[in-house]
Amino acid sequence: MTHTAFITGGTKGIGKECTEAFLAKGYNVVATYRSDDAAANALRTSHIGKNLEVVKCNAADFEQTKACWQLVTERFGGADIIINNAGISQQKVFCDITRSEWDEMFDVNIGSAYNTVKCAYDYLVGCKWGRIINVSSIWGIAGASCEVHYSASKAALIGFTKALAKELGPSHITVNCVAPGVIDTDMNSHLEADDVAALCEETPLQRIGSAAEVASLICYLASDDAAFITGQVISPNGGIII
């Protein structure tokens, strides 16, 4: 049986590395993206002939996600590996965060996970096998100053993971959460060189992580080798928090 991975935010950063890794393993992959057509086209072009669908879909929008899931069903019969990777971030002191910014943060970072799982739920339960992996953040565990809405939304994703793991366990579906530390992605590209150097100094391993390292962990959690791991939060963060 060939597994199919459904990856939100699958054309850049950690999501792109997941797409590359699952394709390399011979999986079917559906990678969604919200707006960067250039990155999406580059990914398509580099994998012509592979079982890859790159779909423009705002994962925070339920109707768009539902339409995308219909495409997944038509092309691959469904997807039994769900990677909820879509996310946004923003640095702002709490008193300056507008209600619309708060709502958007939650719509994308936790609402998108609701949307994908809601669409996939019946299929996964029917299969009696599945993997759901949610990408949170170290700040969902520890909290980050000037990122209250981001930290809160990522903490919500951790609670979502733990509760859903208990509900889906009897159907042999595992649900886990990856909470990366500082990773070299577009989301952190705003950091100045001095900020990166300071973060490296704070980290026992003396460096920031790579998107490929996080993707490798996600691939493991999707494998049969991780069949007895569920409801867990694993944080690849170089030891900056333990």
Q: Which residue among 114, 123, 150, 220 is the active-site one?
A: 150
Distance CA 231, CA 211 (A): 22
Residue 172 and residue 124: Cα distance in Å, rounded? 9
- Backbone phi, psi, residue 110, to 5°: -120, -35
Question: How many Å apart are CA 40 and CA 52, to the nearest integer?
Answer: 11
Asked about 150 being catalytic, the answer comes back as yes
DSSP assignment, residue 92?
A: B
Comparing CA positions, the residue from 4, 25, 211, 9 lying closest to residue 120 is 4
Q: CA torsion 99→105→106→110, rounded to 10°?
A: 180
Catalytic residue ranges: 150
